[in-house]
């Protein structure tokens, strides 16, 4: 085997090892022991009268275990997307959930 072939073989081996590590990482993420069970959108307006309402909501949610997923800045304030997570229950079967035309969740 020539030196060129040997170097290419080593190069491909290192690429394959990196791809394998990435694949294992993705599998671990997919098999997370927790799942998102509820979301809330909390608006916080930057006015002297109304900022305390959003502030109180945020503090209460954070104290009860909710996590901030994303924040959106707006001219009048901030909109915060929050989520609550729970450990997965191994039921063995997956149930399907549907969103109705009225925006309600249904199992049909």
Is the separation of the CB atoms in 98 and 105 below 8 Å?
yes
Tokens 């997965």 — which residue? 88
The reported pLDDT for the residue numbered 10 is: 87
Q: What is each CA distance from 79 to 41, 75, 106, in whole angstroms? A: 7, 11, 27
Reading the chain (108 residues) residue by residue, the pLDDT tens digits are: 788 888 888 888 888 988 988 888 887 777 777 888 899 999 999 998 888 999 999 999 999 999 999 999 999 999 999 999 888 776 555 556 666 666 666 665
Distance of CA 66 to the CA centre of its chain: 13
């Amino acid at each position: 085997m020539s030196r060129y072939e040997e170097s290419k073989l080593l190069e491909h081996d290192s690429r394959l090892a990196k791809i394998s590590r990435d694949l294992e990482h993705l599998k671990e993420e997919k098999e997370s022991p927790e799942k998102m069970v509820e979301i809330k959108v909390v608006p916080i307006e930057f006015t002297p009268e109304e900022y305390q309402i959003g502030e109180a909501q945020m503090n209460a949610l954070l104290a009860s275990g909710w996590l901030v997923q994303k924040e959106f800045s707006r001219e009048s304030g901030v909109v915060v997307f929050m989520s609550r997570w729970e450990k997965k229950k191994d039921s063995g079967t997956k149930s399907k959930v549907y969103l109705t035309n009225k925006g309600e969740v249904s199992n049909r």
